[in-house]
Amino acid sequence: MNLVLNNPKAQIIEEAQVIQSERKNFIEANTLQVDLEHLKNECIVPVFSKDNESTISHYEFIKYTEDVITNVLSQHIQLEEEIRVSHMVKGRVPSAIGKLAKDLSELEKTLYYERMAFVIEIPQISQVINGNRLNLAIGGVRAYNQENLYGKKSIEKFKVFIGFQNTVCLNLCISTDGLAESIRISSVGELKSKILELINGYDRKKHLDNLQELESYWINQDQFAFLIGKMKMYQYLSKEERKDLFPLSITDSQITSIVKDYYSDVFFCSTKGTINLWKLYNIFTEANKTSYIDNNLERNVSAYEFIQYLAKYVKNGESNFFYNNINMTKTDN
Backbone angles phi and psi of 100, in degrees to 5 = -70, 150
- The number of beta carbons lying within 10 Å of the beta carbon of residue 292 is 17
Order of strands, sheet of 275-276, starting from the edge strand that comes earlier in the sequence:
275-276, 217-219, 329-330
Res 29: pLDDT: 86
Q: What does DSSP assign to residue 55? A: P
How distant is the alpha carbon of residue 306 from its chain centre?
15
Give residue 15's pLDDT.
Answer: 44
Query: Which of 236, 235, 179, 215 shows the shortest CA–CA distance to 307?
Result: 215
The pLDDT, as a whole number, for residue 317 is: 59
Of residues 314, 307, 308, 312, the one with CA closest to residue 329 = 314
Nearest to 229 by CA among 259, 209, 204, 187: 259
Closest CA to 261 of 276, 231, 283: 283
Residue 126 phi, psi dihedral angles, 5° rounding: -150, 165
CA-to-CA distance for 212 and 281, rounded, in angstroms?
Answer: 12
pLDDT for 318 = 54
**181, 174 contact by CB (below 8 A):** no
Look at residue 148 in the predicted model and tell me its pLDDT. Answer: 87
Q: Which of 93, 118, 100 is nearest to 36 (CA)?
A: 118
C-alpha span between 237 and 227 (Å, rounded): 15
Low-confidence ranges of the chain (pLDDT < 70): 1-23, 75, 314, 316-333
Sequence-distant (6+) residues with CB within 8 A of 82 are 25, 26, 33, 118, 119, 121, 170
Alpha-carbon torsion angle 29, 31, 35, 37, nearest 10: -150
Residues in the chain, total: 333
Write down the pLDDT at residue 93.
87
Q: What phi, psi does 154 have (nearest 5°)?
A: -140, -175
The pLDDT, as a whole number, for residue 20 is 54
Write out pLDDT tens, residues 272-320. Answer: 989 999 999 999 999 999 999 999 999 999 999 999 988 887 676 554 4
Amino acid identity of 33?
Q
The answer to whether 284 and 307 have CB atoms below 8 angstroms apart is yes
- What pTM was computed for the model? 0.88
